[in-house]
Amino acid sequence: MSGLKDARLIVVKVGSALLVSDDTGKADRAWLTAFAADAARLRARGQKLLVVSSGAVALGRRRLGLGRRVLTLAEKQAAAAAGQSLLMHAWEEVLEPVGLHTAQILVTRDDTEVRHRFLNARATLETLLELGVVPVVNENDTVATDELRYGDNDRLAARVAQMVGADLLVLLSDVDGLYTADPRRDPAARRLPVVADITAEIEAMAGGANADHGVGSGGMATKLAAARIAGAAGCATLITLGRRAAPLQAVEAGEPSTLFEPHTTPAAAYKTWIAGSLAPRGVVVVDDGAAAALRLGKSLLAAGVRAVQGAFGKGDAVVVRDLAGAELGRGLARYDAEDARRILGLRSDAIEAVLGYGAGPMIHADDLALVRRAQETA
């Protein structure tokens, strides 16, 4: 069981070794065309797809004549700048003919770790997905330094899957799953079809970076790290062979893979993180009507807010209390404290006239973890 058919939102990581031809140094048009047919098939049955794509540096280094030697950081950044347009052109050329639009999203590590940037990036990705677009995400290598990089797109893909609440992360690899040893060196190696927990024994099965390709930076160890990140966010991870036409369809047809199972759902994992992992920076007091709406799963609108306490920023965690002082839950504020005070009590359609932007809720329902009362758990 791969989880592909049941997933609502799928993130697929495509590495440089798949996307860039070893022989020409150009985008592998045949492989991309077959993958585009795969993507169109998923979209036709109502699934959303996001691609995390390597390849900008590999394509750019050929354009700049940098050869296959080890590049300095400045050369990598220059190659990324020169290759990013080639990368997006390659994706557009194969996705447009099958009726799919694409959009480029370049991120740095801060976009998944700084909360206000996380919210902004997530909102953009969610909007694109709702519009039926296939976002193509890559690390912004033109500005990222070694200290601020993800280091590989496996971990980037896991962070993006966490950000958008994906059900399944697919890592296309040079092998068809996780083996008990490196199958290229040990003929007795056995593939594991399903992994329930990433234990020390499982981690010991991972080898080093793939030395057979000169353009990739990942290996099985980074894929296990990505699977751990995704699993903590309630997202399953599938590792399978990428070097075949329509690799997703191949898995559904029974080709080998390894599925790493999560132990929670994306929504539950996210709300657990909000409730227990973030130190609140302020308090929002709501009226009885808003309190009742929150218990029904609604977002917190400015109209129901009666007081704002503290000096929090956009994306910071805040405690939500009712008029009696009881804690209703904790959530991520979509306005900073100063702007929140300016709009408290206002209808949503009046916010933009006051702030010059916005009209959304004070705290979105997706970003709010409610306190479960005793009668709810009895």
134 pLDDT band, cuts 50/70/90, is very high
pLDDT-above-70 percentage for the chain: 92
Mean pLDDT check: name the lowest of 151-160, 350-359, 368-377. 368-377
Please state the rounded mean pLDDT for residues 198-221: 65
Q: How many CA atoms lie within 13 A of 292 on its CB side?
A: 3
pLDDT at 372 over 80: no
272 pLDDT band, cuts 50/70/90, is confident
pLDDT at 278 over 80: no
Q: Are 220 and 172 in contact (CB under 8 A)?
A: no
Please state the rounded mean pLDDT for residues 215-230: 78
Task: Look at residue 187 in the predicted model and tell me its pLDDT.
Answer: 86
